[in-house]
Amino acid sequence: MPPQPASSAIQIVNPGSSTASASTTVRKPSEPSQQRQCRNVLIYGNCKYEGKGCAFYHPPKSPQAESLPDPNNLARIASPVLAQHVNAPEFVPGALTHGPTVSFPEPVSQGPASRAELQDSSAEEFYAKPSGGALYPLDYHLYTKSAVPVPDQSASKGGFFVAEDIRLELQRRMDDIWAPPVSTVALPEVHHYHSLSPLEPVAGDRRKYFGHWNSICYRAISTSNGSVYALRRLENFHLAHESILANAELWKRIIHPNIASFREAFTTRAFNDSSLVLVYDYYPLATTLFDTFLKPRTSAFTNRQLRTDQLDPIPETTLWSFLIQIANAMKAIHDRALAFRVLDATKILLTGKSRLHINCCGLADLVGLDTQDRATQQQEDMIAFGRLMLALCCRNANIGINYAKTLEFISRVYSQELKNAIHFLLQPPPLATHGTPKIIGQVFDFIGGRLLQEMDAMQLRSDSLEAQLACELENGRLVRLLSKFGFINERPEFARDFRWSETGDKYIVKLFRDLVFHAVDEHGRPVVSLSHVLMHLNKLDCGSEEKLMLVSRDEQSCLVVSYKEIKRCVESAFRELVSGVY
């Protein structure tokens, strides 16, 4: 059985007592191998607090060092400077001339003394041992940069946490999901969905599907899994035969990043009528392409004339992104011998800046409108696709049938490649493909290199989000560490147990907690500084060899310990709680 590691507890004594232990008093300057050298000496060449209370080691000055020029000019040199190197040209890395200065931990010495220290029983807690056999310190007391280079530096300005724009967007989405229902009329519980909240106006101009059924969309919560879904309800719908609902199984199998997934369909009389309800995935804060780009603005009278503000053209890169996403989704549908049949700007959801999700898929199949063969329906899908892109280019939903004049406008604003792709989609099959059936895969011949640009944009976005996720990964370590502090400190069942609360490892953890969270400045005001907390917690998490002084609340006792020793105390006390051995 391996020997148990010795306790990290250090005797608490009065700093002024002559019987203080050598392990708790400040080491003498004659022990350079056991005490950390003062950073002021390393950086500036001297320390103005030497002999005035500085607890770090100050090496004796050599005659060679006294002949050096002003040490303030050598701030970037982190090692002793020789006399013959004084007149050497100064080297300043280009990366240090821009942005904030980044500090790095000092490398651990690989000398015999350091190797001997690594042989103790707790070495593997603070060092990683790869397959090569060499030991490397886990230097995580500073936040590490993401392993993925992020060209867009503005996206990673958050530093320690997720960037503010991403954080606000995610927070708004969560608020939208759990917002209380806005309806003033109590809505019933439908099937296994409750807390229905309308996402569309319930009065006035109602949206109709296929000229027959009024429709309204609700946000609802499922009782089976607690997730939020979008429920599309068709009012006064009478199911002709049960075989129609069999089409739902075909659409449930389609999983695509640009399609709002269809979950299920059912009929209900909970709204005091016969309604058909289709369930889709819910995207918080999503808007439609119509509301975002095509909804007409309010006109106003200016100088006795009716004037309507002209909408700015949509950037061509955005239009290419929309065209690629819709074409990709349409190819996935057509390859399964299905068709959208309801493709227009009011059925396409926009999330974020340019991410599209085609909604209401399978609606026409579920209502039983099978008046045409599937090949003809797919041809109409592509024509509807061309009309949609034409409307987006003109930012006008009522483009009519004068396509030639509209295409002429597109040629003046956008590239010839975009015009050719839209023209191909709008042409009937015999004219577009010389008599052969037109397929959506042919659209990618017009896209060409735009696919590569879209892929580059997606990968850059992915790298940016991965870098932000790495910041949250660092924060997760501190949450686990703070949880251990909460478990250990001031447990009520051990309030009268002197062995637990006021001696040994637990007391050291308590004093460190006071240093981090209960520190005060010279005026007695609380120090509320996040950088102060992060610095101490990260050094503790990596088990740094740096020492610090812990002072009791009555200021009658103090301890000089390292972060590594405090980490052992935390782990030891936490193991006692987990094992039940107190």
Binding-site residue set = 232, 281-288, 346-347
Which positions make up the binding site for ATP?
232, 281-288, 346-347
3-state SS string over 417-481?
A: HHHHHHHHHHCCHHHHHCCCCCCHHHHHHHHCCHHHHHHHHHHHHHHHHHHHHHHHHHHHHHHHH
The amino acid present at 33, given as its one-letter code, is S
Q: Which residues contact 336 (CB under 8 A, 6 or more apart)?
A: 250, 253, 254
Distance CA 581, CA 103 (A): 41
User: Could you tell me where the DSSP H helices lie in 39-102?
Assistant: 39-44, 63-66
Backbone angles phi, psi at 481, to 5 degrees: -70, -40
Q: Tell me whether residue 233 is exposed, middle or buried, using C-beta atoms within 10 angstroms of its C-beta: 0 to 12, 13 to 18, 19 or more.
A: buried
CA angle 575, 578, 582 (to 5 degrees): 70
Closest CA to 505 of 559, 457, 435: 559
Q: Residue 270: count other Cβ atoms within 10 Å of its Cβ.
A: 15
Q: Output the CA torsion 77→82→84→86 (10° steps).
A: 30
With beta carbons less than 8 A apart as the criterion, state whether 34 and 27 touch: yes
Token pair 């389609």: residue: 254
- As a 3-state breakdown, the chain gives helix, strand, coil percent values, each rounded to 5, of 40, 15, 45
Report whether 336 contacts 254 (CB < 8 A): yes
Calpha distance 283→164 (Å, rounded): 21
Is the CA virtual torsion 115, 117, 120, 123 positive or negative? negative
CB 220, CB 189: distance < 8 Å: no
Residues β-bridged to residue 54 = none
Return the SS3 of 278: strand
Residue 377: both structure tokens together:
């329906």
